[in-house]
Structure 1
Amino acid sequence: MAILKHISSKNANYGDAEKYLTFEHDEFTMKPTLDADGRLIPRVDYRISSLNCGGEDFAVACMRSNLRYGKNQKREDVKSHHYIISFDPRDGPDNGLTVDRAQELGEKFCAEHFPGHQALVCTHPDGHSHTENIHVHIVINSLRIAEVPMLPHMDRPADRKAGCKHRCTDAAMNYLKAEVMEMCHSEGLYQIDLLNGSKERITEREYWAQKKGQAALDRANAPIAADGIAPRQTKFETDKAKLRRTIREALAAASGFDEFAALLLRHGVTVKESRGRLSYLTPDRTKPITARKLGDDFDRAAVLSVLEQNAARAAEKPAAIAEYPGSIKDRLRTKKEAKNAPNNDAVQRMVDIAAKRAEGKGRGYEKWATMHNLKQMSATLMLYQQYGFSSPDELDAAISAANTATQESLAGLKGLEAAIREKKELQRNLLGYIGTKPARDGLKAQKSEKARRAYREQHESDFIIADTAARYFREHGITKLPASKALQREIEQLTVQKNAGYNDYREKRQRAQELQTVRRNIDQILRGAPSQQKKREQER
């Protein structure tokens, strides 16, 4: 899941940005880390490149542009913007994402969405928490040095002119988040919905408070652990984290809102509802914390949904657990109630030991394969029973249904992709047409045919763009142009739907592959060899 973070800086020393990207820094103080001789320690692995700097150093190019346009000369001016695209740690092993590929994606993203800005693009293979998440830093000069085309989030003429500054508005962040999601979808990477909040909303301030608090706790526990005493507390929690834990504990035990409020009150937390929104007041505060600041899991709709589920679960009677039959074949043919798909580690294919022995594999491989097959046999049978199959025919029917569901999900995903492409093509032509309005208005103001001809020649590029857009509108039967902001919202909504469809497709594809693996393993268990008769390979 790639996430996008933005930081604005008023530091007039542009060299500090490059220094941070290329040398080790303390994660808490953000000061450079020095070796025993007091010298900077270079980062072990990174990729870095610059854009629109004309062959000069990034800092020199930025200062030269600032002097040229007379901008960024005051202390309170925002000198640069720092964007960070952080990829999911699983994208490396699961989807083949490398540092070099991430750098290419970062350079392309910067060129498309920050045109006309001098920029540094740097990719690091790891983050502060050492989770091996590849992330890309994009640092841009706040000053624009060239006129650029109108982008969807731009709403002022100055947003595209040379000599004007970059504005990171809410509309701009939503646009960039949608583009990050699109980039991850096109590259086959893991991605979450960045446009509709998160279950736990952790701000930058809370993140660093937790990191610093944990470091202080570890230092305090070090002498206690050295004396052989187990520390009482090993994990630091922020005030918001404690409140989230308290709310979750109360939610798990309550089946109604009054009971939920009473359980919270035992811990000194008062829950209030105002205008359909919840807020929580802790004993050490005078101002309540709104659910929006804690995360989507703590708002009114989510709380009431959990309470309804708890009430429904309390009304149900637990079903008796059937005994397991003795033999393997009896287990496969025993009828059980269908259960939901378990969330286990993926079962792997069993090895055909005889075929591998014929290929020349030795006793060591045979010993490993025997142990592997025993483990996968156990995992296959457990999965078979947990899915609720009573015969191999039911498994075949489930595989067919899973393949059909995968194809339907893929078809829906393709339809959303086509709709997004069409909307973006309309948006590109619309923004181009809007950008040529001054030239078109200027043509109307010309008095004579000769003056109009000269004016068109002078603004030929603008009229080529306007004519191309008008031709597109005629070909697609568009008589009334949509509002650019409304069109951008439509694209964002389609992107959210595509993200949900993309994750749904991945899950259904994994389920189909898992069932196919179970079928092959069942064949080998029953007949001693993989079945070649009912081999269903589902390709995207």
Structure 2
Amino acid sequence: MATLKHISSKNSDYTAIEAYLVYQHDAFTGKQLLDEQGKPKLRDSYLLDTLECGDFSFATACLLANRKYGKNTQHGDIKSHQYIISFDPRDAADNGLTMEKAQALGLKFCSENFPGHPAIVCTHPDGHNRSGNIHVHIVIGSIRTREVERKPYMQKPRDWREGMKHSSTAQTMRHLRVEVMELCEGAGLYQIDLLNGSKERVSEAEYWARRRGQLKLDRENAALTTAGQQPRQKKFETVKDTLRRQISSVLHRATSFEDFSDRLLQQYGIAVKESREQLSYLPAGRTKFIRAKHLGDNYDKKAVFATLNANAEHKPKVQFKQDTIGKLIDIQAKLAKGKGTGYERWAKKYNLKAMAQTLILLQEKDLLNEDALNQRIAKLETKYHDALAVVKDLEGRMKFNKELRYQVAAYASTKIITQQLKAAKRPAAFEEQHRAELTAYRAAAAYFKANNITKLPSPKKLEAEYAQLASEKAKFYEQYKEAKEELLKLKTAKQNVASFFREEEPAQQER
């Protein structure tokens, strides 16, 4: 699982990079670690070679190249490039990777891909994250000191001509990633697809912010544990980590982009916008949007819309009528309970939609007059309760019909067993053998007696009666359902109008 990383440097002190590769440095501050005598501490283990430097050191070779070609004279010029190939920690145990083998692979990679550049190739046995991964640093001076043979991947003169500066373009990085993949394949090492990148894009700055934050959190938790308190958080999250988690928690439940953006704003105060086929997110408390490409592939437009479409297909489809309305939210009450500004923005947007739907409904029903609205509500309540009473009565009769049919069938199927019992030579043994059938017969007989049924109805007649009852129930249930739906909408509309005017009165008085 080798990875490739590129770092460009504008530092004109070429000895600094060699010192970094040879001496120990603090992982967070970058400062050299000193021993008891105040001298820099050498790394415990490393291998270092130079290429294209002649009889000079790397730093001298780079300075001579700058002077010869009159380049890298400005502060903002890129003086050197560093490429780091990090191998999978499992390669040492599983595939026999050693520092010597890694160094040889690094030298080969450097000579084939950066010919003509002064270079340092240095191998370390472990990374600063203590994961045990052998990795190779390849540092090249930015100026090519000799013209080289043009190869197929070289597209511009700067890639082969003497005195030209190296440029790490997207095309160059793609070529180098392919080279790393082929390098691992040829050496029998673990590898991944470097061309498609990581699903979660973590920048160098965010990586170190995680490391520093986790270190600080671990210290605070250790102090809490010593004091006998339970730590509340064990894993540190950067702003982007929190944003990724919040987006993911909303994304798997949303079924449309509008639903997705509304949920983000309501739950976390996160605004989302689409611009130039790209999504950007604005967390609460920030003034600058964070682009999806800086969060990872799972948060860009293509992935988000694919997830929303999949959610919409799997979620049961519910048919909503156009006049469906929601209740207005008491924003001030919610803010008093601790809701933030993100929720306030969402609630204002929601209330505008709800009030617009309310007015559309009342206009369509011609109920803008308060008396007409109250009369219609009273009429619907009567219709609703009457239809509900009929439905309940029909349901009771259907239940009785179903139980009666069951008892009639049980009685008819077990009656012959009762007759055989009377003629049995050993009644006790016969009853023990047919206990289930006789119990069902006696239960049916008791049911008929309890309900004063002296003559059993025909099963066909009972089935016809049940079908008739079901048909009547469906008709009255539809009336009940229609009355209930319209009643709820009109009551909500009435409540929304009252809430709207209650909020408007103080505002008008203030004006």
TM-score > 0.5, shorter chain as reference: yes
Aligned to 1:473: none
Determine what percentage of the aligned residue pairs are the same residue: 54
- For structure 1, the residue ranges without an aligned partner over 5 or more in a row are 317-540
Residue matched to 1:126: 126
Structure with the larger RCO, 1 or 2 (CA within 8 Å, 6+ apart) = 1
1:4–1:85 Cα contact (<8 Å) kept: yes
Matched ranges for 1:188-207 at <5 A: 188-207=188-207
**Deviation (angstroms), 1:53:** 1.6
Structure 2 Cα separation of the partners of residues 2 and 30 of structure 1: 25
Aligned equivalents of 2:277 and 2:53: distance in 1?
51
Whole-Å separation in 2 of the counterparts to 1:197 and 1:6:
14
TM-score (norm 2): 0.58
**1:209 aligns to 2:209 (yes or no):** yes
Would you say the 8 A contact 1:7–1:83 is kept in 2? yes
Partners of 1:95 and 1:210 in 2: how far apart? 31
Looking at structure 1, the residues matched to 248 and 10 of structure 2 have their Cα atoms a distance apart, in angstroms, of: 40
Task: Map residues 408-447 of structure 1 onto 2, 5 A cutoff.
Answer: none
Q: Does the C-alpha gap of structure 1 residues 67 and 271 become closer, same or farther in structure 2, counting only changes over 3 Å?
A: closer
Looking at structure 2, the residues matched to 160 and 26 of structure 1 have their Cα atoms a distance apart, in angstroms, of 38
Could you say which residue in structure 1 is the equivalent of 2:278? 277
Q: Is the 8 A contact 1:34 1:40 kept in 2?
A: yes
Counterparts of 2:94 and 2:263, CA distance in 1: 43
Give the aligned partner of residue 60 of structure 1.
60
CA displacement at 1:190 relative to structure 2: 2.6
- Using the TM superposition, give the Cα deviation of residue 146 of structure 1 relative to its aligned residue in structure 2, in angstroms: 0.9
Secondary structure of 1:144 counterpart: coil
2:41 and 2:61 mapped to 1: Cα distance?
A: 25
CA displacement 1:65-86 (0-9 Å, x = unmatched): 3333333344333221111111
Cα deviation digits, residues 198-229 of structure 1 (max 9, x gap): 21111112112222222232333343232222
**Residue 302 of structure 2 corresponds to which residue in structure 1?**
301
1:24-43 map, 5 Å: 24-43=24-43
Checking the alignment, whether the CA contact within 8 Å between 1:86 and 1:134 is kept in structure 2 is yes
Given the alignment of the two structures, is residue 103 of structure 1 paired with residue 140 of structure 2, yes or no?
no
Q: Is the 8 A contact 1:80 1:141 kept in 2?
A: yes
After TM superposition, list the pairs within 5 Å mapping 1:346-495 onto structure 2.
none
What one-letter code is carried by the residue in structure 1 that aligns with 2:133? Answer: N
Alpha-carbon separation, structure 1, partners of 2:310 and 2:88: 31
Q: Secondary structure at the match of 2:75?
A: coil
Corresponding residue number in structure 1 for 2:50? 50
Asked if structure 1 preserves the Cα contact closer than 8 Å seen for 2:158 and 2:166, the reply is: no
Q: 1:92 to 1:252 in 2, by over 3 A?
A: farther
Partner of 1:394: none
Distance in 2 (alpha carbons) for counterparts of 1:40 and 1:66: 29
Matches of 2:285 and 2:153, distance apart in 1: 41
Query: Structure 1 pair 251/95, CA: closer, same or farther in 2 (3 Å)?
Result: farther
Whether the 8 Å contact between 2:115 and 2:148 is mirrored in structure 1 is yes
> Rg bigger for which structure?
2
Q: For the Cα contact (< 8 Å) 1:10–1:76, is it kept in 2?
A: yes
2:37 and 2:158 map into 1 onto residues whose CA distance is 49
| 1:481-539 CA-partner distances (Å, limit 9, x unpaired) | xxxxxxxxxxxxxxxxxxxxxxxxxxxxxxxxxxxxxxxxxxxxxxxxxxxxxxxxxxx
> Is this contact kept in 2: 1:197–1:295, CA < 8 A?
no
1:183 CA drift (Å): 1.7
Distance 1:286 1:12 in 2: 36
Change (3 A) 1:152 1:168: farther
Contact 1:152–1:175 (CA<8 Å) still a contact in 2?
no
In structure 2, the partner of 1:384 is none
Three-state SS of the structure 2 residue aligned to 1:253 is coil
Match of 1:7 in 2: 7
Q: Deviations over 1:432-487 (max 9, x none)?
A: xxxxxxxxxxxxxxxxxxxxxxxxxxxxxxxxxxxxxxxxxxxxxxxxxxxxxxxx
| Equivalent residue number for residue 291 of structure 1 | 292
Paired with 2:285 and 2:188, the residues of 1 have a C-alpha distance of 46
Partner of 1:536: none
> Superposed, which structure 2 residues align to 1:80-119 within 5 Å?
80-119=80-119
Matched, 1:157 2:157: yes
Q: Which amino acid aligns with 2:178?
A: A
Gaps of 5+ in 2: 318-511
Task: Tell me which residue corresponds to 1:218.
Answer: 218
8 Å CA contact retained: 2:126, 2:133 = yes
Q: CA RMSD in A?
A: 2.3
Cα distance in 1 for partners of 2:165, 2:279 equals: 39
4+ runs deviating over 6 angstroms: none
**Aligned pairs, number:** 316
In the TM superposition, what whole-angstrom CA distance separates every residue of 1:81-107 from its partner, at most 9, and x where no partner exists? 111111222322333322221111110
Relative to 1, partners in 2 of residues 1:92 and 1:229: Cα closer, same or farther, differing over 3 Å? same
**CA 1:151–1:216: 2 relative to 1, 3 Å:** farther
Deviation string for 1:351-382 (max 9, x for gaps)?
xxxxxxxxxxxxxxxxxxxxxxxxxxxxxxxx
Amino acid at match of 1:267: Y
Output the CA distance in 2 between the equivalents of 1:66 and 1:200: 39
